[in-house]
């Protein structure tokens, strides 16, 4: 009987918030966003970490894992210090441009604090995971050659100067939100933003020693596929949780996310099969990431048929972009961040304005807004993001280059960042 009473007390304590504040707290929505938060963090640690680490050479695998881990820690602290506040709090007369300072270090945050019908603690953590993965994506552009100190400074400054204002403009009630931009889970805020920064970073830091004449294949494809699978699963929280509700719209977001990923994978696989005679494992997982990145802005607005078209388009366009960037332009965006995430984000953001319309099987545009009108707004947001990200990513990188330096020496690059930066190796038999 004592055990039963204790269990009953625990149940009452758990249920009490719902009993006391049933008109405010939605426990289903809260549980779903909590779960989605774990999914999105899982995308960076360990999903993206393993995906990127497997793609580089063995002498740099540990450095990539370290970079993703360190970015997770640093961004979390900056988020608490003020980034969250400047995105999601009331900026008063400056609201169109930036949020307020009242939530620096979250002094007023208590268990009962709410955002809509979920606790602010949950919203704070969910949005933090998006802030973490965005600069982590850029690691793929400068992998195998940037100093660890420069990486930390760049990621921190980029979060504050580039990610924070764009995120506020679109998700925090800023001027682009007022124009009606549709970016459900981060096609513009995350993928276009990080993709453009990656292209700029690759250009500023320069190619790896030996690129493009020396082959630099992934050192561990098993690790790559494992990380890719984690990204696919984690993306259900990324897109499915972005509506902050456990309802049919979350279910639809997950369906179209899955269809987009599958269509991107199969399309990329068949293109390689036709062009090179054999489908590659690297190709099918890259097509998956392209499909996921491209469907992300549309995931809360389109139906399955629209997702199929978007996924196929992602496979074709992003494949061509990788060939142009690497083979034609000879830009060493090491892990194809710009051609996959940047180009995919641009394509997906524009197609959102098309396939969100009910006439195209979507969930509908705003009243009185035509497909043409919405595509214009989407294009404006994409162009603004490209300009802002390119300009300030360049300035941050040049300042760091002139002060602490961006990249390791040729000898250090030859030796590998695992030993040079961390005095450790990922594999003891090397």
What would the DSSP string read from start to end of 151-184?
A: HHHHHHHHIIIIIHHHHHHHHSS-HHHHHT---S
Residue 24: the pLDDT is: 87
Give me 39's structure tokens. Answer: 């999914």
Helices (H), 48-147: 49-55, 61-78, 84-88, 120-142
Cβ proximity of 299 and 256 under 8 Å: yes
114: enclosing H helix or E strand = strand 114-115
Closest by alpha carbon to 149, among 337, 327, 414, 400? 400
In sequence order, the 6+-apart residues with CB closer than 8 A to the CB of 124 are 79, 84, 106, 109
Residue 6: the pLDDT is: 44
Q: What span, in angstroms and rounded, lies between the C-alpha atoms of 53 and 47?
A: 10
Token pair 């779903």 in the structure block, residue: 32
3-state helix, strand, coil in the chain (%, to 5): 75, 0, 25
What would the DSSP string read from start to end of 260-327?
A: HHHHHHHHHHHHHHHHHSS--HHHHHHHHHHHHHHHGGGTTT--HHHHHHHHHHHHHHHHHHHIIIII
Give me 414's structure tokens. Answer: 């030859």
CATH number assigned to the domain with residue range 26-422, chosen from the 4 options 1.20.1070.10, 1.10.1060.10, 1.10.760.10, 1.10.3430.10: 1.10.3430.10
Tens of pLDDT, residue by residue, the chain (430 residues): 343 344 433 333 333 333 334 448 999 999 999 999 999 999 999 999 999 999 999 999 999 999 999 999 999 999 999 999 999 999 999 999 999 999 999 999 999 999 999 999 999 999 999 999 999 999 999 999 999 999 999 999 999 999 999 999 999 999 999 999 999 999 999 999 999 999 999 999 999 999 999 999 999 999 999 999 999 999 999 999 999 999 999 999 999 999 999 999 999 999 999 999 999 999 999 999 999 999 999 999 999 999 999 999 999 999 999 999 999 999 999 999 999 999 999 999 999 999 999 999 999 999 999 999 999 999 999 999 999 999 999 999 999 999 999 999 999 999 999 999 999 999 986 5
Report the C-alpha dihedral over residues 156, 41, 332, 160, rounded to 10 degrees. -20
Q: How far is CA 322 from CA 266, 310, 328, 343, 393, in A?
A: 17, 18, 9, 10, 21
269: exposed, middle or buried (Cβ count in 10 Å: 0-12, 13-18, 19+): buried
Q: How many alpha carbons lie under 13 Å from residue 427 in its C-beta half-sphere?
A: 12
Cβ atoms within 10 Å of 136's Cβ, excluding its own = 25
Q: How many alpha carbons lie under 13 Å from residue 248 in its C-beta half-sphere?
A: 3
Residue 219: left if φ>0, alpha if ψ -120 to 50, beta else—which one? alpha
Residue 429: the pLDDT is: 66
pLDDT tens digits along 217-258: 999 999 999 999 999 999 999 999 999 999 999 999 999 999
Q: What span, in angstroms and rounded, lies between the C-alpha atoms of 396 and 408?
A: 18
Beta bridge partners of 271: none
Give me 197's structure tokens. Answer: 């920064």
Q: What span, in angstroms and rounded, lies between the C-alpha atoms of 68 and 137?
A: 9
């Amino acid at each position: 009987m004592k055990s039963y009473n204790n269990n009953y007390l625990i149940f009452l304590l758990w249920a009490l918030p719902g009993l006391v504040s049933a008109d405010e707290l939605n426990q289903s929505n809260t549980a779903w966003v909590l779960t989605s938060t774990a999914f999105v963090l899982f995308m960076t640690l360990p999903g993206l970490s393993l995906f990127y680490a497997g793609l580089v050479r063995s002498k740099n695998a540990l450095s990539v894992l370290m970079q993703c881990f360190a970015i997770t820690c640093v961004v979390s602290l900056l988020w608490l210090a003020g980034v969250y506040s400047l995105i999601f709090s009331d900026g008063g007369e400056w609201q169109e441009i930036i949020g307020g300072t009242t939530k620096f270090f979250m002094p007023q945050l208590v268990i009962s604090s709410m955002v809509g019908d979920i606790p602010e603690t949950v919203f704070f953590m969910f949005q933090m995971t998006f802030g973490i993965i965005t600069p982590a994506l850029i690691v793929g552009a400068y992998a195998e050659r940037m100093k660890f100190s420069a990486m930390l400074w760049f990621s921190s400054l980029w979060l504050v100067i580039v990610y924070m204002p764009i995120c506020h403009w679109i998700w925090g009630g800023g001027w682009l939100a007022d124009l009606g931009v549709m970016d459900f889970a981060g096609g513009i805020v995350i993928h276009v933003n990080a993709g453009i920064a990656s292209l700029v970073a690759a250009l500023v830091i320069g190619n790896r020693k030996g690129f493009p004449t020396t082959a630099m294949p992934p050192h561990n494809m098993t690790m790559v596929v494992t990380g890719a699978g984690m990204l696919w699963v984690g993306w259900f929280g990324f897109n499915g949780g972005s509506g902050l509700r456990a309802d049919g719209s979350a279910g639809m977001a997950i369906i179209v996310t899955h269809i987009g990923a599958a269509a991107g994978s199969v399309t990329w696989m068949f293109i390689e099969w036709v062009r090179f005679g054999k489908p590659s494992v690297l190709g099918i997982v890259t097509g998956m990431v392209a499909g996921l990145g491209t469907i992300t802005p549309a995931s809360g607005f389109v139906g399955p048929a629209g997702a199929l078209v978007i996924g196929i388009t992602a496979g074709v366009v992003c494949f061509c972009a990788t060939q142009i960037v690497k083979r034609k332009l000879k830009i060493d965006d090491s892990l194809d961040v710009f051609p996959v995430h940047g180009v995919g984000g641009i394509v997906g953001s524009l197609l959102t304005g098309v396939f969100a319309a009910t006439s195209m099987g979507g969930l509908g545009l705003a009243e009185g807004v035509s497909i043409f009108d919405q595509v214009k707004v989407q294009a404006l947001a994409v162009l603004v993001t490209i300009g802002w990200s390119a300009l300030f990513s360049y300035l941050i990188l040049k300042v760091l280059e002139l002060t602490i330096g961006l990249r390791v020496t040729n000898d250090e690059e030859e030796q590998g960042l695992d030993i040079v930066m961390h005095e450790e190796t990922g594999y003891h038999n090397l």
